[in-house]
Structure 1
Amino acid sequence: MTCADPIENGSALRTPKQLLIASKAFASEHRMLSWWHLWSSLAVIFVLLGTSVSSLPLWIRIPASITAGLVTVRLFIIYHDYQHSAILGGSWIARWIMSVYGMWVLAPTSVWKHSHDVHHRKNSQTFGDNVGSYPIMTTHAYANAVASERFSYAASRHPLTIVLGYFTVFIWRMCLQAFISNPREHLDGGLSIVLHIALAIVLAMFGFDVMMLGLIVPLFVASGLGAYLFYAQHNYPSAKLYPSDDWSHVDAALQSSSFIPMNPLMNWFTGNIGYHHVHHLNARIPFYRLPEAMAALPELQTPGITTLNPGDIAACLRLKLWCPEQEKFVGFNGI
């Protein structure tokens, strides 16, 4: 729809500027609610991790460890919102907690904030190996690329790269690569790796199972799910990309950022990040107000949709290149 199209109540949709202004009504936190979400989530993960490293039977510890990975995703969204200054701004307690959390999940503050801020400024605007996002090549660029460039590009978007996000996205790209490229600016990237190895060694002293269930499995689950969610938020069948000259912030939010409907439990685990088009419209809206904003603003109620159903996941993963002629993502075979 265009901004002049009628909606159900007969009124006209807002212009992009009006929509941005309207979204500001939701871009304020309820401070006590923000603290509740943080402390309650921390309490849940401490219980789950404690259970994971306990002497209880494995049939209890393994599900606890996997669930701890899902709660880690929730905490990542809280961390993500804090970095956007959507919640808990100005609190030294929150700053300390978020810094420690970023180190623990191998997404240190300096690296995450830099890459993610660039992603928000450039979402759907450019092609290539964008900072903070999965690289995108057009069909023409890929056809003219040398073999090594094609291999590197295909590997970066391969399903295994996403599933193994613990190694590919977080250990390598978010920590080691960032530290190696700029050790002064991203010292916390190197420090995260050192602390991660130290924690693994300490836990291994109590048993290999303690290390795996108390550290590796939760982060492996969280990294894989997080890497896929980030992929599907901008790489889905109906997504639209724009040359820089035609780009606008609102178009990028409404046409290049997906809505992933989930059941209430998965919305809790993922911190409502499925409402990603709302988040990209206004990153200052706290995660717990995203459904409220979508329900209140008609312009947000017809987004591009993908789901976590196996068929939709497969459809997203088949998308490899942007075809300017067809104005859609296609596979390497052009379909």
Structure 2
Amino acid sequence: MRTGKELILATKVFAKEDRKKSWFEVFITIFFVLVVFPMPFLNTPLWTKLIASVICGLLYVRMFVIYHDYQHHTILQKSKLAEWIMTGFGIYLLAPRRIWKRSHDHHHNNNSKLSISGIGSYPTICKDRFQKLSKKQKRIYLINRHPLTIIFGYVTLFIYWLNVKSFVQSPKKHLDSLAALLIHLALSIMVFMIFGPEIYFIGWFAPFFLAFGIGSYLFYCQHNFPKAKFRENHDWTYDNAALSSTSFMEMNPIMHWFTGDIGFHHVHHMNSRIPFYRLREVMAKMPELQNPPTTSWNPMEIYRCFRLKLWDPEKDKMITLKEL
């Protein structure tokens, strides 16, 4: 079995896009969004509106994965049309390019390192350091990892962290965060005033809430699960972080499509230049990537992931507050 640089280099043969495939994935996603987005605003039965709202939210997740790949310089580079489309995706999905690129690159370069900063990820520290924190620091740390913080990712991660906080901390650098906030607020008010609270909730709020909740949880659980391994800087290696600290998320084919195969997350972390539509192929062709730790949408699995709070170096595993 290959390890280290040899393994990483072996993935490079797959880090090539099929340009026609990339454009197809972009346009088919946009097409489906344009089909289902208007349905809650039309004179249709309530059940139709609700189904369309859920599907729209899931399509937003797919839009985000495609945008995420573009930000990794994986697909559609050197295309002005793609640049305009992806900039629009980032603004519409409250993940403007500058803050997303900076924080997500940090995440990839520091995946599974113990850190209280939580830049581009959820903070994770060992139990000894936690016990030395002040009461206020402990409270902030636990709030950042609280299930409600993750479920309400629409507000906590996308509105506050990616936009409000980034703009307040560095206004000149993150004008696109301000633009995203103002455009989102203006559209929200317009929808509410024209269509009323019920349609606003079904057609506008619910798809974003669902998409950002799913996205926040995926981002959390694929690096915070019972078998995940965390390391200090001196023990950390890039390939080991991908193999032992990043999960493969088991889900049905429909959800794999809606999530852009981001469930093959260990493959993505091994080489972020592999297009999302090739992740499945890479896992099938590379034996080293075929036995990753797994997570799933099983409610008990979600519960187990949410309970994890701290790294215990003696037990070599994540532990709950009760275990502490």
CA contact (8 A) 2:250 2:296 kept: yes
Shift of 1:191: 1.2
Matched residue, 2:130: 142
The one of 51, 56, 61 equivalent to 1:68 is 56
Distance 1:314 1:201 in 2: 36
Structure 1 length-normalised TM? 0.94
Kindly report which structure 2 residues correspond to 1:248-263, keeping only aligned pairs within 5 A, or say none.
248-263=237-252
Kindly report which structure 2 residues correspond to 1:14-25, keeping only aligned pairs within 5 A, or say none.
14-25=2-13
CA contact (8 A) 2:114 2:125 kept: no
Matched residue, 2:23: 35
1:282 maps onto 2:271 in alignment: yes
1:301 maps onto 2:290 in alignment: yes
The one of 230, 234, 254 equivalent to 2:223 is 234
Matched residue, 1:207: 195
Q: Which runs of 5+ in 1 are unaligned?
A: 1-12
Matched residue, 1:49: 37
The one of 93, 116, 126 equivalent to 1:128 is 116
The one of 245, 249, 258 equivalent to 2:234 is 245
Shift of 1:62: 1.3
CA contact (8 A) 2:114 2:126 kept: no
Shift of 1:45: 0.8
Give the letter for the 2:72 counterpart.
Answer: H
Distance 1:146 1:137 in 2: 14
Distance 1:52 1:92 in 2: 33
Distance 1:64 1:102 in 2: 22
Matched residue, 1:8: none
1:311 maps onto 2:300 in alignment: yes
CA contact (8 A) 2:49 2:203 kept: no
Matched residue, 2:167: 179
- Output one character per residue of 1:82-141: Cα deviation in whole Å (capped at 9) or x when no partner: 000111111111111111111111111111111000000111123212210001121111
Q: Which moved more, 1:125-134 or 1:170-179?
A: 125-134
Matched residue, 1:109: 97
The one of 262, 276, 279 equivalent to 1:273 is 262
CA contact (8 A) 2:41 2:199 kept: yes
Q: Which moved more, 1:188-197 or 1:13-22?
A: 13-22
Shift of 1:261: 1.4
**SS of residue matched to 1:306:** strand
**SS of residue matched to 1:260:** strand
- Output one character per residue of 1:67-94: Cα deviation in whole Å (capped at 9) or x when no partner: 1001100110000000001111111111
Distance 2:201 2:79 in 1: 33
Matched residue, 2:146: 158
Distance 2:297 2:13 in 1: 30
Matched residue, 1:79: 67
Give the letter for the 2:276 counterpart.
Answer: F
Shift of 1:157: 0.7
Q: Give the alignment's Cα RMSD to 1 decimal.
A: 1.0
Distance 1:326 1:248 in 2: 20
Distance 1:164 1:126 in 2: 24
Question: Which aligned segments of 4 or more residues in structure 1 are displaced greater than 4 angstroms?
Answer: none
Matched residue, 1:10: none
Instruction: Percent identity, please.
Output: 45
Shift of 1:179: 0.5
Shift of 1:228: 0.3
Q: Which moved more, 1:118-127 or 1:176-185?
A: 118-127
Between the two proteins, the alignment pairs up a number of residues equal to 323
